[in-house]
Every structure is written in C-alpha cells, then in structure tokens.
C-alpha cells in the first residue's frame, strides 16, 4: 500500500537527483568534459556506470513480465552479455581507450570517413531518442498505475528531471547519478528478495522452486512450451548480438572516460560481476508472483499488460511502509541512468559530428558547450513527446518491443562498426552499404515475414530441412514462439548479409582514394600506441571523490532517518541497512577525496616555494 511516507521519499529523491546535476555543473569546462568527463575518471565509477547502463526499469518491468509468463528463459538474455564482456576485458577495452576521441562517432569518421559519419548520425540519433522514449514510457506506465496518477503527468515529471540532470552536469552528473543508483537498486532489491522468500506461502528458496515447478513446470523446463530449435536460436542470437554490440565502436563511450588502459581493463570487472549476480536477485520476486498472484489482471486492471507488474506486485505486499517509495526511486533511477547516458551520448554525436563540421566549423569550445546544453534540452523535449506517442500506439509488451527494436534497427548499424574496429581493409562506404543491406532484410522480416507467422500452417509450409529443425509442423506457433522466431530470423539474416557485404567490400579497398587509406592506416597505427596515465591523474579526480562522497552521505543519512517511520523491526532494520551502506560508501569516498586535496595543496605549496 502506498502511503504519504512513500510519496515524501519519492519527492526527496527527485530533488536529490536534480541536485546531482547542480553539484557537478562547474566541472564541465569544454565538450570533452561534458561528453566524456575529460577522459580522467577512475575505473570504479565508469565501471559502475557501464554496468548500470546495461539495464533499466526494463529489468523490473519487461524482464519481470517475461519471467512471470515464461520462467527463467529470460536468464539467457541476461547472461548473453557475459562472454561479450570477457572479450571486452581481454582485448577490446584497450582499443576503445586508444581511439582517443571525444565521442564514438568521431571514431566512425576516422575509420569510414565523413559520409559514414553523417549517415550514422542521422540514423543513430533518432534511434537513441526513440529508445529513450520507450524506456521513459515503460517506467512511467508502471509508476502511474502504482501511484494512481495520470500517466502523462508521470512522463512529464520524470522526463523533465532526467533532462535537467543531463543538461546541468553532463557526463560528470551521469556518472555520479549512476553510482548512487547502483547502491540504491542493489540494496532495495536484495531486501525485496529476502522479504519475499520469508513469506509463508513461499517457504524459502527451496519452497519457491518446488511450488513454481509444480504449478508451472515449463518455467524451468523451457522445452515443454517452446520448440527447442527456436529456444536455442533465441539464446544464441542474443549471445552474438551482445558480442557485437559491446565490442563495437559505439560502446567505447564509457571507456573513453577513464584515465588509462589499466583503468579500462579494471572497469570491466564491475559490469561482469554485476551482470552475473544482479539477475539472480531480480528473478526471485517475479517467480514468487506466479504463486502469490496467479492473476495479475486483478491486481493491476489499469495496466495494458498486467504481467509487467509482477515485480512490484510482490514488493507492494512484502515491503514495510516507506520501502515501496524507495523501490519506486530505484526503478526510476535504473531508467534514469540509461536515459541520461543515452541523451548525453546522442547530444555528443549531434554536436561533434553534425553541428561542428557542418554548421559551425570555426566554433570555439565555449560555444560548443553552450550548444551542447541547448541541444540537451531540445532532445529531452523530443524524448518526452516520443514517450507520450509510443504509449498511445504500442501493441507489444515492453520486453518484446525493446528486443525487436534493438535487433531490427540497432543491430544493422552495429555490424560494420564492430568488424571495422578490428579489420581495416574495407573502404569507407562499407559501413553505410552494409547497414543499408541489413536494413533491407530487417524490413522484410518485420513487414512480410511477421505477417505470415500467424498462419496456422506456417511451420508446415517451411522448406523441409528447416521444417524438420523447427519441429511440430502440425502445431501452430504460439504467440511467444512467433516473437522469438521473428527475432532469430532477423538476427540471423542480418548477420549473414552484414558479413557478406562488409567483408565482400574488401575487393574494393585498394581502389579507394589514397587519402582514405592513409586515414585508416593512421587510425590503426594509433590503436597500437598505449595510453599512459598522467603523473598527476591520481589527484586530479579529487572533486569527483569529494562531491560524490558528500552526495552519498547526504542520501545515506536521509535513508537512515527513515527508521523513525512507524514500522516493525524488519522495516527499521531494512532502512538501517540501506542507509548505512550508502552513507559508509560516501564517507570512504569523501575521506579519499580529502586526502587527495591535501596532496594537491602540498604539491602546489612546494611549487610556489620553488618559484
């Protein structure tokens, strides 16, 4: 049940998030600071941001809905990123840092030329804005249902908050907010897990698995409800997609922020460990919801897709007074981290790859910084408008919508900038040529093949070899299988065409202009030169430690004071645990920052004495 305490906690959180942008606004002196924090960040803060940006409210709305409907199949999607991150840590992270650019699109220009840069800019920026709009819509629909407020009002409030944070603080505020969100998300979801398995009708983890297996055996034995070939193809498709995405030029953004290659390698540890542990925590409440709430339509009749309320339906029942407000903050924070990073990245691409080279080639850094902030506000307005439109027109659930959106529109652009980071003997047009060919196949899959999947005889009409592979030719595809089959075909076809087009263009490399080949050679030569850490870099990040530490202590103290809310010992202990964790982390950061400040003051004093 939502109480006045929960509303107060949510209100404080919104003000706190806005304060993050204000606190870090003075650190951005130019566009390098605004978009990549000056390339001088420590590994722990960029690693946290890199992990938190991989999930959003999708994990608690879309993925929870899929767990409620299909069981642990979604774990294949969560863990698809693990092999990709191992590859990033082993090799790609150093190449990312050696790019030495402000935005990832500048790397696209150096590898594929100005034409490819403009092509990617004009396609990728709208896709990023639409993706942010979907994320904002997902969390807003749910918060509106839980708090019983109009959906449009929630979209406006959350959208404005996110826009102002990105506007004021740039990359520094994005990194700082991500760090705070990480502590909040993990602590509140851990509390939710513990309180869920303590419920009498659940009976611990063992009781939960036994009850779910008895009521929904297909939740653990996926092949009972999904054709094995489609299931395997779906899982393999995501492993490949994540491998290409996380090792492509676009995902160099976070790695361009760190001080050196050593920090780039270290930062992979956080998303790798977090990506393994996090899903184990988030999967429990939606599974428990299948036992506690067999019909979620009765719990959330106002939701178009009631199963998207699986996670919070359980939280509403098990969490003491006030903790629901913190959970809402955590879910909003998870979306905020992805959206503000997306806005910051999209603005960086637009300003550095279109506004600067096309509209104002002679613009100063001061002018570009002002243009970047104005563009942030404009993009925020666009995202809010898109979110309102998407909410009124969507037909799919959030899980399916985001996955198909990513594969159909994002993956065709990923293939060239993945292979292009490692293989240089393709001409500049290989990027946009490959992407266009992949888009053509994706369009066929989504507009032609998708319409045929509902035919009861579809499987029977497949070629014999493929029909035997899919199996059960006399049984129509279920709605879930149709979505999975479409995604597998889209990913497979796009990959085959992308590989053929990209590497096929090798035959034209020697015919490309000499200046183009020299530019590509220069880029790949730079990728062999290590990035060394500056001698003073260990102290130059002092403001980040000090300011972030102070923010964490303030929020930790606020949560700690919530122990005075009328609650039983479980509620008080929960607030004590979360507040202490947040406050202790802030204290450690603040003390490290204070030590760094003393070192800087001593160094400055020695320099003055020497002069």
Structure tokens at 12: 């404080």
pLDDT the model gives residue 524: 95
Instruction: Give the orientation angle of helix 4-23 with respect to helix 151-197, to 10 degrees.
Output: 110
Segment 28-61, tens digit of pLDDT? 676 666 666 666 788 888 888 788 777 666 778 7
pLDDT the model gives residue 535: 42
Segment 431-464, tens digit of pLDDT? 999 999 999 999 999 888 888 887 787 777 778 7
Residues whose CB falls within 8 Å of the CB of residue 512, separated by 6 or more in sequence, listed in order: 427, 428
Residue 27 has pLDDT above 70, yes or no: no
Mean of all residue pLDDT scores within the chain: 84
SS3 label, residue 361: coil
Residue 545 has pLDDT above 60, yes or no: yes
Q: Return d(Cα 336, Cα 163) in angstroms, integer.
A: 9
Compare 249 and 307 and report the one with higher pLDDT: 249
pLDDT the model gives residue 153: 86
pLDDT the model gives residue 66: 85
CA dihedral 486, 488, 491, 495 (to 10 degrees): -130
Segment 83-130, tens digit of pLDDT? 999 999 999 999 999 998 888 888 999 999 999 999 999 998 888 888
Compare 75 and 17 and report the one with higher pLDDT: 75
In degrees and rounded to multiples of 5, residue 41 shows phi and psi of: -90, 150
Structure tokens at 288: 């428990």
Nearest-Å Rg of the Cα atoms of the chain is 25
Residue 4 has pLDDT above 80, yes or no: yes
pTM to 2 decimal places = 0.83
126 burial via Cβ count (<10 Å: 0-12, 13-18, 19+):
middle
pLDDT the model gives residue 210: 93
CB 556 within 8 A of CB 582: yes
Instruction: Give the orientation angle of helix 479-504 with respect to helix 398-405, to 10 degrees.
Output: 10
Domains of the chain: residue spans and CATH: 4-533 (1.20.1730.10)
Closest CA to 332 of 578, 551, 144: 144
Residue 171 has pLDDT above 80, yes or no: no
Residue 420 has pLDDT above 90, yes or no: yes
Closest CA to 541 of 29, 38, 180: 38
Over pLDDT 70: what percentage of the chain?
89
Q: Return d(Cα 152, Cα 120) in angstroms, integer.
A: 32
Q: Return d(Cα 118, Cα 411) in angstroms, integer.
A: 18
pLDDT the model gives residue 610: 46
CB 437 within 8 A of CB 197: no
Segment 354-413, tens digit of pLDDT? 888 888 888 888 888 888 888 888 888 898 898 888 777 666 666 666 677 778 888 999
Compare 283 and 23 and report the one with higher pLDDT: 283
pLDDT band at residue 25 using 50, 70 and 90 as cut-offs: low
């Amino acid at each position: 049940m939502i109480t006045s305490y929960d509303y107060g906690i949510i209100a404080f959180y919104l003000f706190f998030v806005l304060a993050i942008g204000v606190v870090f606004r003075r650190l951005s002196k130019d566009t390098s600071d605004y978009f990549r924090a000056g390339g001088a960040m420590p590994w722990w803060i960029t690693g946290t941001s890199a992990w938190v940006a991989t999930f959003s409210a999708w994990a608690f709305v879309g993925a929870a809905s899929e767990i409620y409907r299909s069981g642990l199949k979604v774990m294949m999607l969560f863990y698809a990123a693990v092999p990709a991150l191992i590859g990033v840590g082993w090799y790609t992270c150093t190449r990312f840092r050696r790019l030495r650019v402000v935005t990832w699109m500048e790397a696209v220009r150096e590898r594929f030329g100005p034409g490819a840069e403009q092509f990617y800019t004009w396609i990728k920026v709208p896709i990023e804005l639409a993706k942010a709009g979907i994320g904002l819509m997902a969390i807003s629909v749910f918060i509106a249902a839980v708090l019983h407020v109009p959906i449009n009002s929630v979209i406006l409030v959350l959208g404005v908050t996110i826009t102002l944070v990105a506007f004021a603080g740039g990359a520094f505020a994005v990194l700082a907010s991500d760090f705070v969100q990480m502590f909040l998300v993990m602590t509140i979801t851990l509390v939710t897990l513990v309180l869920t398995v303590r419920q009498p009708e659940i009976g611990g983890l063992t009781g939960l698995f036994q009850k779910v297996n008895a009521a929904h055996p297909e939740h653990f034995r996926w092949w009972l409800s999904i054709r094995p070939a489609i299931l395997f193809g779906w899982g393999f498709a995501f492993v490949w997609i994540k491998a290409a995405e996380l090792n492509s030029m676009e995902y160099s953004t976070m790695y361009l922020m760190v001080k050196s290659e050593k920090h780039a390698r270290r930062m992979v540890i956080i998303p790798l460990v977090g990506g393994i542990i996090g899903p184990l925590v988030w999967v429990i409440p939606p599974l428990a919801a299948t036992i506690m709430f067999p019909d979620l339509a009765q719990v959330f009749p106002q939701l178009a897709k009631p199963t998207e309320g699986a996670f919070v339906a359980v939280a509403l029942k098990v969490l003491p007074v006030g903790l629901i407000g913190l959970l809402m903050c955590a879910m909003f924070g998870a979306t905020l981290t992805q959206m503000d990073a997306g806005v910051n990245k999209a603005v960086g691409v637009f300003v550095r790859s279109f506004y600067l080279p096309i509209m104002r080639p002679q613009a100063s850094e001061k002018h570009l910084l002002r243009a970047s902030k104005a563009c942030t506000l404009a993009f925020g307005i666009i995202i809010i408008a898109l979110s309102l439109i998407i909410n009124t027109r969507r037909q799919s659930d959030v899980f399916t919508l985001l996955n198909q959106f990513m594969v159909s529109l994002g993956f065709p652009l990923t293939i060239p900038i993945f292979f292009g980071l490692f293989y240089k003997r393709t001409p500049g047009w290989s990027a946009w040529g490959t992407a266009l060919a992949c888009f053509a196949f994706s369009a066929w899959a989504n507009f032609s093949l998708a319409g045929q999947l509902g035919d009861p005889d579809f499987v029977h009409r497949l070629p014999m070899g493929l029909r035997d592979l899919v199996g059960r030719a006399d049984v129509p595809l279920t709605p879930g299988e149709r979505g999975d089959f479409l995604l597998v075909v889209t990913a497979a076809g796009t990959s085959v065409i992308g590989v053929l087009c990209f590497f096929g263009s090798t035959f034209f490399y020697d015919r490309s202009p000499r200046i183009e080949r020299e530019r590509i050679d220069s880029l790949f030569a730079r990728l062999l030169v290590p990035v060394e850490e500056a001698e003073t870099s260990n102290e130059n990040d002092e403001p980040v430690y000090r300011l972030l530490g102070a923010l964490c202590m303030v929020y930790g103290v606020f949560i700690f004071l919530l122990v005075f809310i009328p609650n039983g010992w479980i509620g008080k202990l929960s607030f004590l645990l979360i507040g202490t964790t947040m406050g202790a982390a802030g204290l450690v950061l603040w003390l490290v920052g204070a030590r760094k400040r003393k070192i800087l003051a001593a160094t400055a004093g020695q320099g003055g004495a020497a002069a």
